[in-house]
Amino acid sequence: MTFTESIEQCFKKYATFEGTASRSEYWWFALFIVLGNFGLSLISDGLSMLFAIATFIPSMAAACRRLHDTDRSGWWQLLMFIPVIGWIILIVFLAQEPRANRYGVVSRVTA
């Protein structure tokens, strides 16, 4: 999945917390959010805040679907509230290979 396809897919599934998301879909979208927030913060803090608000639900939904792809509940996102250790654990979970799961088809994207 390409950068633009990932962004398009994540916004199409704006509030879809069911199913799975491939690693490329999730990480391209995460990069888009980081770059967008950084770029807009150089222009205006207000624009950056507006962008963060607009992408909050899609990013939570994409992370939930990504966790589903590793056979974990989306509730694991609550780890982000545990400073440092929680973030590290969550990043490891999000980066793992897809595996058989109870949430849908294992998402294997071929280039």
**What radius of gyration, in Å, describes the C-alpha atoms of the chain?**
14
- Dump pLDDT digits (tens) for 19-41: 999 999 999 999 999 999 999 99
SS (H, E, C) 14-55: CCCCCCCCCHHHHHHHHHHHHHHHHHHHHHCHHHHHHHHHHH
For range 37-54, the mean pLDDT: 97
Q: pLDDT of 71-107, one tens digit each?
A: 999 999 999 999 999 999 999 999 999 888 888 777 7
